[in-house]
């Protein structure tokens, strides 16, 4: 059995504390080698939670690990990702890759130039339920579909801050919805959008398969929400319902898949796929009102 992958954690915000850090620390495929954050107190708090070491500099952390997991704001991720890739470290990246297409392109270029393994936290890609959805969608002989990601996350709580409130749901949860629509219907080759980027956003997507789909994105809606995608076809339909997903199952798959990618494996949640999603996001945002 391969030894545990030593992962350095760059970032100590809410997602790092609630997900990335605890998932990687649970092993056995991975172990947290240390934590760095621009805010030292946050790094110390998370390191204590994970029984890991705090590092004062990025370089010191890179020297102590085989791979890095980056959990920072989109604007900050490209610089850290390029730095880690150039140091030969495999990458576990957040979605979106960057705040814009140019930042995302820098990450992709660095991964290609260095040949390091890279996996993007498109979290639905690690749920066993997605495998069933993809298989059922193929059997349905799809004609089209619909999807939505609606929540009240921006009304209060750990995600109601900073870049999310400034840019809205498209940059934050858009990658998840677009990824699921593509999982069921194939690559999106054109998207039309309407709405308010800080409110409700409606989408019409055209897929390379010839199918079309509609989508809705909003993180400012009170009440019950969630993520759902339904594919309709000549032989039936397929449904991915986020409310029915076993969220206790995906952490083990994240660790397993990241360890495999770090050692040369491939995965659908690649930087190339994430870059494609980033370009769709840019196109959607260009069509929306402020």
Separation of alpha carbons 6 and 261, rounded Å: 14
Top CATH class of 5-122+249-269 equals alpha beta
When pLDDT is cut at 50, 70 and 90, the band that residue 290 belongs to is: low
Residue-wise DSSP of 107-118: HHHHHHHH---E
CATH 3.40.50.720 domain extents, the chain: 5-122+249-269
- Antiparallel, parallel or unpaired: β 236-241 and 226-233: antiparallel
Spatial strand order of the sheet with 67-70 comes to 30-36, 5-10, 67-70, 90-93, 118-120
Mean pLDDT value of segment 152-181 = 95
Q: What is the pLDDT of residues 108-139, one digit of tens each?
A: 999 999 999 999 999 999 999 999 999 999 99
Asked if 78 and 97 touch (Cβ cutoff 8 Å), the reply is yes
Whether 63 shows a pLDDT value over 90: the answer reads yes
- Antiparallel, parallel or unpaired: β 226-233 and 142-150: antiparallel
CATH 3.30.360.10 domain extents, the chain: 128-245
Radius of gyration for the chain, computed over Cα atoms and rounded to the nearest angstrom:
19
Dihedrals phi, psi of 151, to nearest 5 degrees: -155, 175
Mean pLDDT value of segment 249-275 = 96
Percent of the chain with pLDDT over 90: 92
Q: What is the pLDDT of residues 6-54, one digit of tens each?
A: 999 999 999 999 999 999 999 999 999 999 999 999 999 999 999 999 9
When pLDDT is cut at 50, 70 and 90, the band that residue 244 belongs to is: confident
- CATH superfamily, domain at 128-245: Dihydrodipicolinate Reductase; domain 2 (3.30.360.10)
Asked if 155 and 222 touch (Cβ cutoff 8 Å), the reply is yes
């Amino acid at each position: 059995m391969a030894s545990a992958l030593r992962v350095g954690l760059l970032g100590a915000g809410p997602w790092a504390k609630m997900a990335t850090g605890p998932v990687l620390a649970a092993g056995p495929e991975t172990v947290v080698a240390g934590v760095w954050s621009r805010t030292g107190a946050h790094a110390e708090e998370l390191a204590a939670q994970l029984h890991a070491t705090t590092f004062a500099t990025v370089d010191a952390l890179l020297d102590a690990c085989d791979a890095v997991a980056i959990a920072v704001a989109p604007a900050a991720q490209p610089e850290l990702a390029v730095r880690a890739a150039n140091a030969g470290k495999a990458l576990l990246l957040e979605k979106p890759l960057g705040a814009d297409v140019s930042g995302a392109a820098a990450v992709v270029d660095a991964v290609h130039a260095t040949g390091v393994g890279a996996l993007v936290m498109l979290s639905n890609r690690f749920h066993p339920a997605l495998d069933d959805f993809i298989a059922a969608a193929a059997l349905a002989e799809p004609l089209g579909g619909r999807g939505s990601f609606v929540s009240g996350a921006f009304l209060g709580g750990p995600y109601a801050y900073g870049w999310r409130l400034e840019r809205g749901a498209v940059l934050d949860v858009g990658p998840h919805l677009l990824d699921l629509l593509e999982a069921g219907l194939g690559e999106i080759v054109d998207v039309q959008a309407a709405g308010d980027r800080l409110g409700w956003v409606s989408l019409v997507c055209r897929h390379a398969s010839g199918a079309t789909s509609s989508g809705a994105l909003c993180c400012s809606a009170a009440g019950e929400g969630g993520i759902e995608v339904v594919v309709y076809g000549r032989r039936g339909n397929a449904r991915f319902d986020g409310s029915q997903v076993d969220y206790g199952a995906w952490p083990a798959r994240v660790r397993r898949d990241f360890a495999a990618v770090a050692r040369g494996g491939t995965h659908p949640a690649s930087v190339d796929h994430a870059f494609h999603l980033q370009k769709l996001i840019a196109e959607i945002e260009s069509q929306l009102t402020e």
